[in-house]
Amino acid sequence: MLAMCLPRFYQRVSALCRMERGTRMRINKKGLCPTSLAVMLCCYGASGAFASDLSRSAMVQARAATSDSVAFWSSIPVETAMQEWSLSADEWSRYLALMQGRARYYAERMPPPMVLAMYARDEEERNRYAEAMVQFEYDKAGRLLAVQRAYETAMQRMHPNEKIIDFDLLRARGIRLPGEADPVSAALGDTSDGSQADHTPKLGDQIVLFAAAGCEDACGKKIRTLVERYPYAPLEVYFIGVDGHLLKRWLDAAKLDMNQLKNAGVTLSRDEGQATQYNAEPGTTFVVRGGGLYEIDVK
């Protein structure tokens, strides 16, 4: 279960960072992005629930064994905690005191600097703890993205031909494809494919784009637009008649960097007849959502 969840978790981390690029937040030299306080709070709440789901009985036993502790971090030796969080003895004592009050009901697994910032006694104190949290999140993001890059490299090495979207499998599972009416609707005489509906990519959707020699400029622009506009929707590009060294030449002509595309979660695949099967010209873009596959216009 954990192995299945990790790739999606790292993908969401990358998506969050790319989304923050879209809000004009500065990116540091290592390519990391700052994390908003709202996202941080959600992450800590989610991580507690995730850990609870994974080892609920173990946590119950651990809490029973340390029933006198006032917080998750209180079992850590004082010297270790002070060094880990760069806090003084007085600051650590104040944190433990705060965790005996209302904070213990919702801040049990929050980093101590965040709790201290929430209950800061003045602006200067709040800013100091906020800076500590920035450094903490900066380090964490760097480690997560390093694992994400290692995971993508391993995936490419172990399963180089794996596809994000298998059109034949979609059809086998009864998912509607372009030009194919829903059986029930067809029986009622309605062959509409729902093209008038809003098929703008949303969280949970996947995007497919077909590319070929000769559409480097137009397709390259579409790829950049899709990555920047919909960072939360995985993009897979199918190349028609472009493979090997021709792919590198195509990417150079389209002014695209393969490593940047991989870091953005883009998958580059070889067309194996899908373009002909779905009558897709170079530049054609589809959104895969729920029980349907819909063509969209990217400008």
CATH fold for domain 167-296: Glutaredoxin (3.40.30)
> What does the pLDDT average to over 125-130?
94
The pLDDT > 70 percentage for the chain reads: 63
Q: Is the distance from CB of 275 to CB of 240 less than 8 angstroms?
A: yes
pLDDT greater at residue 186 or residue 201: 201
SS3 17: helix
Q: Which one-letter DSSP state was computed for residue 110?
A: S
In this prediction, residue 84 carries a pLDDT of: 85
Residue whose pair of structure tokens reads 């002909």 in the numeric block = 276
If one counts every other C-beta atom within 10 angstroms of the C-beta of residue 146, the result is 11
Question: In the chain, count of helices (H) and strands (E)?
Answer: 13, 5
> What's the CA gap between 147 and 281, in Å, rounded?
37
Mean pLDDT value across the chain? 73
SS3 230: coil
**What phi and psi, each to the nearest 5 degrees, are found at residue 238?**
-100, 120
- 288 bridge partner residues: 206, 293
The token duo for 83 is: 């060094």
Q: How far, in whole angstroms, is CA 10 from its chain's centroid?
A: 6
The token duo for 45 is: 């709440």
Q: How far is CA 250 from CA 36, 63, 94, 217, 264, in A?
A: 37, 58, 60, 10, 18
Q: How far, in whole angstroms, is CA 205 from its chain's centroid?
A: 13
> What's the CA gap between 121 and 97, in Å, rounded?
14
The answer to whether the pTM exceeds 0.85 is: no
Per-residue pLDDT tens digits for 20-50: 444 333 334 343 444 444 444 444 444 444 3
Per-residue pLDDT tens digits for 69-102: 445 666 778 888 888 888 999 999 999 999 999 8
Domain residue limits, the chain: 2-157, 167-296
